[in-house]
Chains A and B, each alone.
Chain A
Amino acid sequence: MGEALLSVRDLCVSFLTEDGPVQAVDGVSFGLAPGEVLAIVGESGSGKSVTAQTIVSLTRSPNARISGSVRLGEAELLGAAEDELRRVRGERIAMVFQDPMTSFNPVYRIGAQIVEAIQAHRPEVEKRAAREQTIELLGAVGLPQPQRQVDRYPHELSGGMRQRAMIAMALALEPQVLIADEPTTALDVTIQAQILALLRRLNRERGLATIMITHDFGVVAELADRVLVMHEGKIVERGDIDQVFYAPTDPYTRKLLGAVVRLDQAPPLRPPAAAAPLLEVTDLVKHFPVKRGLLIDREVDRVRAVDGVSFSVAPGETLGLVGESGSGKSTLSRAMLGLLQPSSGSVRFEGREITGLSRRRMQPLRAQMQLIFQDPYASLNPRKRIGQIVAEPLRIQGRASGAGLRSQVGELLERVGLSPAHYNRYPHEFSGGQRQRIGIARALALRPKLVVADEPVSALDVSIRAQILDLLAELQEELGLTYIFIAHDIGVVRHVSDRIAVMHDGKLVEQGPADQVCERPSDPYTQALLAAVPIPDPRECRARHDT
C-alpha cells in the first residue's frame, strides 16, 4: 500500500441510548490508497455505514460521541469546522447512497440537484455552464439522452437510471474519494451488474479511490482490491481480496463466507414428484386498466402484470419463481391464492377451480394455502403479542381456543426455533430473523398444504438468511409442505428449488428443473439474468471480466 490518501485511526462512535451507551464503531483504523477500491463488509448493525458517514462528519445525532482521527492528506476532518467540512464534502469526498429514490429530493429536477452541487463549490460557474457540465456527466455515466434526462424529476427515472444520476452528481467536482454505501442493494440484479461495471470503469479510468460499503460478498468480489470485515463495530478481518476470500483467519468471516448462497454450487436434486399437481395455473391473466380523461376516465391502456401464465406444482415440491421488480411475480402470487381476481384464466387447487369462488367458499381453502411475507417488520402487527399473532389464523378458522390454542401456539413457536415462553412478547423485541420465524409459525398454524413464500429472506442478513432457508427445508421434510418460493435472487432460488420458473414482463419465459434453467438456460432473458449475478469468488470474477 502506498501513501494513504485517507487514513482513519482509532475511530470510535458511540450513541447514548436509554439503555446506556451503544458502541457502534469501536477502534476502527484503516487507510485508503489513491486509486484503490476498499470494501467494508458486514451485516446490519456492524457499524459499517456509521463508519462511512463519520468520515465526512455526517453522523449528526446529538447523542453520538465520536473520537479518533480521520485525515484526508494532511487535514484532520474529525472536529474540523463546519465550513471546512463543507468544502471537503462533495468536492474531495463524494458519497453515493443505497436508495436512489429517497436520496434525491423528489421536488427538484435531477439536473437542478446536480447543478446545485456544482455551484455550492464553484459559485463562479454560471448556471448555463453548470447545466452543460451536468448533461456531459449524465452522458458519461451512461444515461441515454442526457439532454432530456436533465429536466426530469427523480420519480420519472428508473431505479438504475437514478443511481447513475446519483453517481454523476458524486463525480461532478472530480473528488479524490468516493464512498458508496450499499449502492446496488436496492437495485435489480441486471441493473446491479451495470452499476458495478460503471463503478469499475470509473475506478480504472479516473483512478477514483473508492470505499464500498456492502453486505454482499458477490459485490465485493466484483470490485474490491482490499477488504475489511466488520462485526459489532470492530474490524475482525482485513487483507487483500484473495486473502480474505481464500484464506480467512477470523471465525466470523469464515462463517459469513460459508453462509453465502452461491449460484454455481447447486444442492443435490431431489427426484421429481410424479403425483397429480397440487396447484395448476392455466393461462392466468391479470390486467390493470390505465385510465385517463378530462372529465370521465376512459381506459386508454392496460398494464399486463400477469399475461398468460401456466405452470403446475406437485405435492412436496418447491417451485422457484424468479423475476426482477415489475415482472409481475407478486401479482401472480396474489392471483393464484385467490387474493386478487384474475382477468382470465384458471387456477386449480387439488383439481378444484378456485377463481370466482365466493368469499365463504374460499374460506376453508385459504387454510390450505398460506403466505410468508418479505418484510418481517411490516408484516407483524406491532401492537399484538406474538402469541396472538400466531394464534390468529387458528382462531379465525375456529380450529382451537383456550388452553388448547395456547399449547398449539407454543408447539408452533418451538417448531420454528423460538421458545413458548416468548408468547407474551411484542414483535419489536425480536431480531429480523426471529420475526421471520414468527411469520413462518403463523403460516404453518393451519397446517397448510401449500406455502407461498414471497421474498422470505431478501430483507435478512446473509448468516440469518441461511438459517431461515435451512428451517424452511426442515419443515418441508417434516410436514411434506409444497413451496412456491418467490425471489429476485436466482442464487437463493436455485438453492431451495426443485424446479424454477423465470418471469419477465408478466410472462414465464422459461421453466424447468433447477439445474437445467441455471446451467443451460434457453431464453435470452434468463441468460442475461444469470450472467448478471455477482459470483462471490474474486478469481472467477477476474476471469469473467478479462474475457
Chain B
Amino acid sequence: MARFAVRRLLGMAAVLFAVSVLVFVIFNVVPNADPARQLAGRSANPQLVASITDEWGFDEPLPRQYLTMMGNIFSGKVVSYETRENVDERIVEGIPETFSLCIGAAVIWLFFGILFGYLSAVRAGGWLDRALTVVAVTGISIPVFWLAAILLNYLTYKLELLPSGGYVPLSENPLEWARHLILPWVTLAVVYVGFYSRVLRSSMLDAMDEDYVRTARAKGLSERRVMTRHVLRNSLVPIVTLFGLDFGALLGGVIVVEGIFNINGIGQYAYESLLNLDLPPIMAITLFGAFFIVLFNSLVDIAYAYLDPRVRLGESAS
C-alpha cells in the first residue's frame, strides 16, 4: 500500500513536470512574436521589453529559458507588468477565499449527492426516485448565473436574509464567514449534486445485481446493512473518480461563481488577468490549477487502493 502511494506520487511529479513544460511552450515558444513583448502587456515600451528579455533570459537557449521561468514562478519573483502586483502574492491572497468556497460547496454536494443517489437507488422506480430524478436533472440543467440571480433576488433583496456577496475571513468571524458563503456554496454545489446522485444511483443499481449482495441477504443481514455495507460501499469508486477531477479543477479558480458573488479568489484574479491579456498571472494560475488537478488525480488513485483491495494487488501486475 505504501509502495503504491509512493509510486503514484512519483508519477504525479513526472506529470507536473510535463505540464510545466507544456505551459512554457504554449506561452513562450509558440507565439509568433517576441515573448517579452507579450509578457509586457499593454503597457509595453522598449525599455520594459528589454528589461523583461533580460529578466526572463529570452535571448538564451530554450532549456535555460524554461528553468528561468520556473525559477521566477516558484521563487515568487513574477510581477504583472500591467498592475505592478506580485503575482504569487496575489494568488496566495486568493487561496482562502477560493478554498472556502470550494471546500464548503464540496461538502454540500457530496452530502446531498450521495444522499439523493442512495435514496433513489434504494427506492428505484418509486415516487421518491422519480422526484429525486426531477430534482437532479433540474439541478444539472439550471445555468449557474440564472440560479445565482434567482437566489439573490429572493433571499437577499426580497427577504434580506443573506448578504449579496463579499467575503469575511473565517478567523475574523466564523458566523459571518458562513453567512456570506451560503449562497455561493449552494449555487456552486447544485450542478454537482445532480450529477453525483445520478452516477451513484446507476452504480448502486449495478451493484445490487452482484452475487455478493445476494450472499449478504442470504446470510440474514438487514436490508439497510446490505445497502450500506455491501452496495453503497462498493459503488463509491465512480464518485471518487468524479470528485477528484471536479474538486481539483475547482481549486484552480471558480470563475463564474466568484464573479457573481464578488469573492476575490483565484478565479476572479484569472478572469481579470484574461480581460487585461496580462500573461504573467495567467501562466502562474495555469500552473497552480494544473497542480491541483494532478494532485487530486493521484489522491484518487490512492483512494482506489483503499476502496478496493484488488487494486493493491494489481500494483505490480502488467
Binding site for B on A (CB under 8 A): 53, 56, 58, 62, 82, 86-91, 94-95, 97, 99, 102-107, 116-117, 120-121, 153, 155-156, 166, 169, 290-292, 294-295, 297
Instruction: Check if A97 sits within 8 Å of B308, measured CB to CB.
Output: no
Interface contact A104-B215, CB-CB below 8 Å: yes
Instruction: Give the number of residues in B that approach A within 8 Å (Cβ atoms).
Output: 30
The 4 A-B residue pairs with the shortest CB-CB distance in the complex, in nearest-first order? A90-B220, A90-B219, A102-B211, A89-B220
The DSSP consensus for interface residues of chain A is mixed
Find the residue from B210, B216, B233, B234 having the highest chain A CB count within 10 A. Answer: B216
Identify A153's interface contact among B220, B225, B310, CB under 8 A: B310
11 additional A-B residue pairs with CB within 8 Å, beyond A89-B217, A107-B233: A62-B125, A86-B222, A87-B220, A89-B219, A90-B219, A105-B234, A106-B309, A106-B310, A107-B234, A107-B309, A116-B219
B316 near A120: Cβ-Cβ < 8 Å? no
Q: In the complex the two chains form, what is the Cα distance from A184 to B286 in whole Å? A: 58
- In whole Å, how far is B35's beta carbon from the nearest beta carbon of chain A? 35
Chain A residues near B211 (CB-CB < 8 A): 97, 99, 102-103
The listed residue with most B CB atoms (<10 A of its CB), out of A107, A155, A169, is A107
- Complex contact B221–A86 (CB within 8 A): yes
Q: Is the CB of B223 within 8 A of A82?
A: yes
B201 at the interface (CB under 8 A from A): no
Q: Contact check, A103 vs B212: say whether CB atoms are below 8 A apart.
A: yes
Nearest B-chain residue to A102, judged by Cβ: B211
**Given A107-B308, A155-B309, A155-B310: A294 and B219 within 8 A (CB)?**
no
Given contacts A107-B307, A155-B310, contact A97 B219 (CB under 8 A): no
What's the least CB distance linking A312 to chain B, in Å? 35
Within 8 A of A (CB), among B212-253: 212, 214-223, 225, 229-230, 233-234
> Could you write out 21 A-B pairs with CB less than 8 Å apart?
A53-B214, A88-B220, A89-B219, A97-B214, A97-B215, A103-B211, A103-B214, A105-B216, A105-B230, A106-B212, A106-B309, A116-B229, A117-B219, A120-B221, A153-B310, A290-B316, A291-B316, A292-B316, A294-B3, A295-B10, A297-B316
Could you tell me which residues of chain B, from 301 to 318, have a CB within 8 Å of some CB in chain A? 307-310, 313, 316, 318
A153 to B308, CA, bound (A): 10
Least Cβ–Cβ distance between B318 and chain A, in angstroms: 8
Contacts of A95 in B (CB 8 A): 215, 218
* Bound-complex Cα distance A310 to B313 (A): 34
Q: Is the Cβ of B219 less than 8 Å from the Cβ of A94?
A: yes
Minimum C-beta distance from B262 to chain A (A): 45
The answer to whether the Cβ of B6 comes within 8 Å of any Cβ in the partner chain is yes
- Determine if A120 and B218 form an interchain contact, defined as CB atoms under 8 angstroms apart: no
Nearest chain-A residue to B10 (Cβ)? A295
Give chain B nearest CB distance to A508 CB in angstroms: 28
Q: Which residues of A contact B7 (CB under 8 A)?
A: 294-295
Q: A86-B221, A107-B234, A117-B220 are in contact. Are A102 and B310 (CB under 8 A)?
A: no
